[in-house]
Amino acid sequence: SKSYQLVVVGSGAGGAAIAARFSSKLGKGKVAIIEPSDAHYNQAMWTLVGGGIVKLEDTYRPMASIIPSTCDWIKDRATTFKPDTCTVSTQGGEEIKYEYLVVAVGLQLRYEDIKGLTEGLEMDPMLVSNYSAKYVTRTINAIDKFKGGQAVFTLPNTPIKCPGAPQKIMYLAESKWKKNGVKKSSTITYNTAMGVMLGAPKYAEVLRGVCEKRGIQVNFKTNLVEVNPEKKEAVFMKLETGETYVQPYDFMHVTPPMSTPTELKSSPLVNAGGFLTVDKYTLQHSQYPNVFGIGDCTDVPTPKTAAAVASQCGIVAENLAAVMKGGTLTRKYDGYTACPLVTSYNTCIMAEFAFEGVPMETFPIDQGKERQSMYWVKLHILPRVYNLMTKGWWSGPAPVRKIFHLGLSKQE
């Protein structure tokens, strides 16, 4: 069996960033990544792929180019976590021993949990989903082909990554349909299992206004349970009463239910919901002090985004380094997360907030407005920031925020 000072499981946004930091610090042979996939995607750009603004290839990097050269890549799935003996076993039958472990396995898409959905996505070109590399490129064709009628967008009844993304693609589609004239003969409906537009009241209210202004029908606490692609019908459940109803569709964008990967769910490291239990401030595991978590797979109560991962990366890096030296944990995560809510092909509401949905905006302007400048940031700056993060060179915008707010009060 192999043995490492640090083992990182998963090489997505969070795992790559942590491995980069520690492999340069600890040197060759000390850090390993367990990751089965050949492809690393910047998923945060997939709204732009679905909207036809960037190509899927522009969001892709070979996994080999993401994993630091000083880090060993165990190209396999982690299957069993044994924190009492500090080992992780893999599908290929290897036992990997660690002194310290960072779990960064993200979320698993569960299209199969909705009856008829997987078949529907195969056979109906007007049934689309931005959430998977397999489907995301079809979205723009369906938006362009839509000839009017019922357009439906969904958000499921599970925690998901980027809870803003299910509505961003709706705003992009709506602005296309307005331009090409089909909006006049269409009904646009947003069926969300949430009770609000977004977890932060400031932006939730603004987004309510965006929907009202554009005549988008919003149904809260409404969850997709079945798709019948032959009849072009969807079945939704009203979560408060349990009653179901049939919704015909001519276009539908589905956000699938999600959970943590099965291997983590069945480990001793998680809560009843299957999420890695960590201290929400230090990101250290609640029972195993040599285990940390980062990203979508943890139970940290803040919306799951790459922006959150960036801030968490700085916290995990410092706190894990302290634990390695036998010191105490000093850094506390504030819950920072961000959701660039693209509202058209040239506007964006840049939602940034901390625990409890308290706004924490980087720029010295009111970000609760649709702005062209923030669209530019989303399109040109954030993809670069993501790449810096995976190299371990970015831990969130706090320093930028401090500079902008030095001597500058908030302006309209």
- Catalytic residue list: 162, 339
Q: Does 104 bind ligand FAD (CB under 6 A)?
A: yes
Choose one: 158-166, 245-253, 344-352, 393-401; the region binding ligand FAD (CB under 6 A): 158-166
Q: Among candidates 212, 170, 206, 215, which has minimal Cα distance to 369? A: 206
Q: Does 383 bind ligand FAD (CB under 6 A)?
A: no
Q: Does 43 bind ligand FAD (CB under 6 A)?
A: yes
Within 10 A of 196 (CB to CB), how many other CB atoms are there? 17
Q: Is 315 helix (H, G, I), strand (E, B) or coil?
A: helix
Which residues lie across from 219 on neighbouring strands? Answer: 191
- Minimum distance, C-beta of residue 201 to ligand FAD, in the bound complex (Å): 20
- How buried is 221 (Cβ within 10 angstroms: 0-12 exposed, 13-18 middle, 19+ buried)? middle
Q: Look up residue 410 and give its two tokens.
A: 């908030």
Distance (Å, whole) CA 191 – CA 238: 10
Choose one: 38-46, 180-188, 240-248, 322-330; the region binding ligand FAD (CB under 6 A): 38-46
Q: Does 148 bind ligand FAD (CB under 6 A)?
A: no
Q: Among candidates 353, 356, 331, which has minimal Cα distance to 281? A: 331
Q: Does 307 bind ligand FAD (CB under 6 A)?
A: yes
Q: Does 77 bind ligand FAD (CB under 6 A)?
A: yes
Which is closer to ligand FAD, CB of 88 or CB of 152?
Answer: 88
Q: Does 304 bind ligand FAD (CB under 6 A)?
A: yes
Among 4, 19, 21, 35, binds ligand FAD (CB under 6 A): 35
- The DSSP code sequence of 59-94 is GEEEHHHHS-TTSEEE-S-EEEEETTTTEEEETTS-
Among 47, 259, 347, 395, binds ligand FAD (CB under 6 A): 47
Which H or E run contains 100?
Answer: strand 95-103
Q: Is 286 helix (H, G, I), strand (E, B) or coil?
A: coil
- Minimum distance, C-beta of residue 263 to ligand FAD, in the bound complex (Å): 4
Contact 243, 252 (CB under 8 A): no
Question: Footprint of ligand FAD on residues 170-189 (CB under 6 A)?
Answer: none
**Segments of 156-255 assigned E as strands:** 186-192, 217-219, 222-228, 233-238, 244-248, 251-253
Choose one: 12-20, 143-151, 356-364, 397-405; the region binding ligand FAD (CB under 6 A): 12-20
Q: Does 296 bind ligand FAD (CB under 6 A)?
A: yes
- How buried is 387 (Cβ within 10 angstroms: 0-12 exposed, 13-18 middle, 19+ buried)? middle
Among 28, 37, 372, 393, binds ligand FAD (CB under 6 A): 37
Which is closer to ligand FAD, CB of 174 or CB of 296?
Answer: 296
Q: Does 259 bind ligand FAD (CB under 6 A)?
A: no
Count of residues that bind ligand FAD according to CB under 6 A: 37
- Minimum distance, C-beta of residue 313 to ligand FAD, in the bound complex (Å): 10
Which is closer to ligand FAD, CB of 35 or CB of 124?
Answer: 35
Put residue 352 in one of left, alpha, beta given phi > 0 → left and psi -120 to 50 → alpha. Answer: beta
Contact residues for ligand FAD, defined by CB under 6 A: 9-15, 34-37, 43-44, 46-47, 77-78, 104-106, 130-131, 161-162, 165, 261, 263, 295-297, 304-307, 309, 338, 340
